[in-house]
Amino acid sequence: MAAKQTKYIFVTGGVTSSLGKGIISSSLAKLLQARGFSVTIQKLDPYINIDPGTLNPYEHGECYVTDDGAETDLDLGHYERFLNVPTSQSNNVTTGRVYQSVINKERKGDYLGKTVQIIPHITDEIKRRIKILGSKGKFDIVITEIGGTVGDIESLPYIESVRQLKWEMGDRVLVVHLTLVPYLSASGELKTKPTQHSVKMLQEEGVQADVLVLRTERQLNREIRKKVALFCNVDERSVIESRDVSTIYEVPLLMQKEGLDQIILEKFKLPILDKIDIEPWREFVKSVKNPAQTVKIGLIGKYVELHDAYKSISESFIHAGAVNNCRVDLQWIHSESLEQGDIRQKLGDLKGILVAPGFGHRGIEGKINAVRFARENNIPFLGVCLGMQCAVIEFARNVLGLTKAHSTEMDSKTPDPVIDLMEDQKDIIDKGGTMRLGAYTCNLTKGSRAARIYKKECVSERHRHRFEFNNAYMDVFKNAGMVPSGINPDTNLVEIMEIPSHKWFVGVQFHPEYKSTVIQPHPLFVNFVKAALE
């Protein structure tokens, strides 16, 4: 259903961070999509980094990669998993990128001698980047999530841009403000004051929220809704309760019950048709919540203290579990803990082992030990990016007898660089945005496990790496039983390695987890979980 002019929804957050703006944005988008509108979601991040590609996962969680090779915030992963529509470079904007554009223009003399200021130059650049998505004629509704919390110094130019757009575009713009209603157990009460304050702060910055979404542990009664409505200048139906739920995938159903999509469409004066295509989603949530069995799979990584560092992987297991009618009981295992001691005691009860992506030396030997344990004990194994590289190193050392084999990332002087820096990476010095990024084609070998799983001859998957399987070793690997089953046709780079004699052993140089969605769970994860169940 094409709306005449693109509408814009801004999602802001108050009181505290981590209230789940990304999930609320995704859920609202899902409902609008289910009602026939084409929707995209964008995230504006108030930090100075150009993108999160150079950020430590401990700082920022996973770096999510789009088809067009943008290194982005992990919320974009939620957007894709909920909507099943790819995002792009334009869907994530940081303060760093905004300032970079403005400063580059200034250096070129584009401002014709004017003093360059936050208003209008920075805000104009922010508005331009918001409107880009709407100008493509592809989307009826663009949802823009503003990172950070209202009142932060960093987010002021973004809120100011929202104010200006509201002024310029009138009823084509709505603001949804997400806040917290805490429960004080000492007095046994839900408290609305923090919400009142954050709405007021938004007003001080010139923006009136149209809809309030209140995160709460307990049910909000009529009194509380009325009170919030009165103090915050919104009608009572625009006060939406968002109770804590056991799975994020339930939030769209909850928001539908609360009428969030209805109120938004009413305010936009868009048609509300009775038909809402949400049944497959409901079915999915049902299977997530009522699994017939569980299966223990180990995720071996060096950032496991912070689950957000592997967000797309853990979500892919939820999708794959639902298809297999089970719950994947993910065991988060620190790779450093596998460098010494009895590995059987640590990994013995796992039905599948995934070695995670990563960079640098820390914990690498633990990852290699985990691969060995999976290979020698015929335990289903999936290696992702660095995980695939570890599988190659392990095979070289313990099967081919090249005991000092390594990746030149960890040991630049190894006599057997089975994993080596890609040729076109050798002259690169800058760290930001210079890896092999985004979607590349991969031809699958006929009859291989990969080809059987994908049921295709050619796939496209997303990448983020500098190092690669060293093709000089191709024949020795093949002869000893580890074979390439996916190759990039343009560069001959190995994208998939597998061991056909093993129960299930696949290493992929790409990141299948970036493409798993609720509607299209990734076939590799689905098949891996199936193998773990057998």
Which residues are annotated as catalytic?
385, 511, 513
The two three-digit tokens of residue 437, written as one number: 């990024």
Kindly state the smallest distance separating residue 11's Cβ from ligand GLN, in Å. Answer: 30
The two three-digit tokens of residue 461, written as one number: 């998957």
144-183: contacts with ligand GLN (CB under 6 A): none
Beta-carbon contacts of 81 under 8 Å, excluding residues fewer than 6 positions away, are 26, 315, 319, 516, 517, 518
Kindly state the smallest distance separating residue 426's Cβ from ligand GLN, in Å. Answer: 13
95 CA to centre of own chain: 20
Kindly state the smallest distance separating residue 48's Cβ from ligand GLN, in Å. Answer: 24
14-53: contacts with ligand GLN (CB under 6 A): none
Full DSSP string of 231-290: HHT--GGGEEEEE--S-GGGHHHHHHHHTHHHHHHHHHT----S----HHHHHHHHHHHS
393-412: contacts with ligand GLN (CB under 6 A): 409
Q: Which is nearer to ligand GLN, 340 or 460 (CB)?
A: 460
Task: State which of residues 358, 380, 486, 507 lies at the interface with ligand GLN (CB under 6 A).
Answer: 358
What does the angle CA 202 – CA 207 – CA 210 come to, to the nearest 5 degrees?
A: 100
Kindly state the smallest distance separating residue 467's Cβ from ligand GLN, in Å. Answer: 3
CB contact at 8 A, 162 and 46 = no
Give the interface segment with ligand GLN, choosing from 140-148, 315-323, 464-472, 484-492 (CB under 6 A).
Answer: 464-472
Give the interface segment with ligand GLN, choosing from 113-121, 278-286, 330-338, 465-473 (CB under 6 A).
Answer: 465-473
Task: State which of residues 237, 359, 408, 441 lies at the interface with ligand GLN (CB under 6 A).
Answer: 359
Q: Which is nearer to ligand GLN, 238 or 516 (CB)?
A: 516
Confirm or reject binding of residue 249 to ligand GLN (CB under 6 A): no
Q: Which is nearer to ligand GLN, 373 or 510 (CB)?
A: 510
Q: Which is nearer to ligand GLN, 347 or 385 (CB)?
A: 385
Kindly state the smallest distance separating residue 458's Cβ from ligand GLN, in Å. Answer: 23
Confirm or reject binding of residue 357 to ligand GLN (CB under 6 A): yes
Confirm or reject binding of residue 385 to ligand GLN (CB under 6 A): yes
Helix (H) or strand (E) holding 190: strand 189-190
C-alpha distances (whole Å) from 432 to each of 49, 53, 91, 429, 463 are: 10, 6, 18, 9, 15
Going by the DSSP 8-state scheme, the letter that residue 119 receives in this structure is I
Nearest to 293 by CA among 533, 526, 522: 533
Crossing angle (nearest 10°) for helices 75-83 and 21-34: 20
Q: Which is nearer to ligand GLN, 260 or 354 (CB)?
A: 354
User: What is the rounded distance in angstroms from the CA atom of residue 419 to the CA atom of residue 416?
Assistant: 9
Give the interface segment with ligand GLN, choosing from 39-47, 212-220, 280-288, 460-468 (CB under 6 A).
Answer: 460-468
Confirm or reject binding of residue 466 to ligand GLN (CB under 6 A): yes
Task: State which of residues 82, 467, 477, 528 lies at the interface with ligand GLN (CB under 6 A).
Answer: 467
Q: Which is nearer to ligand GLN, 199 or 364 (CB)?
A: 364
Kindly state the smallest distance separating residue 367's Cβ from ligand GLN, in Å. Answer: 10
Tally of CA atoms within 13 A in the half-sphere of 431 that contains its CB: 9
Residue 426: count of CB within 10 angstroms of its CB: 9
Give the interface segment with ligand GLN, choosing from 37-45, 50-58, 101-109, 354-362 (CB under 6 A).
Answer: 354-362
User: What is the rounded distance in angstroms from the CA atom of residue 177 to the CA atom of residue 173?
Assistant: 13
Confirm or reject binding of residue 386 to ligand GLN (CB under 6 A): yes
User: What is the rounded distance in angstroms from the CA atom of residue 509 to the CA atom of residue 495?
Assistant: 5
Binding site residues, ligand GLN, CB under 6 A:
357-359, 385-386, 409, 464-467
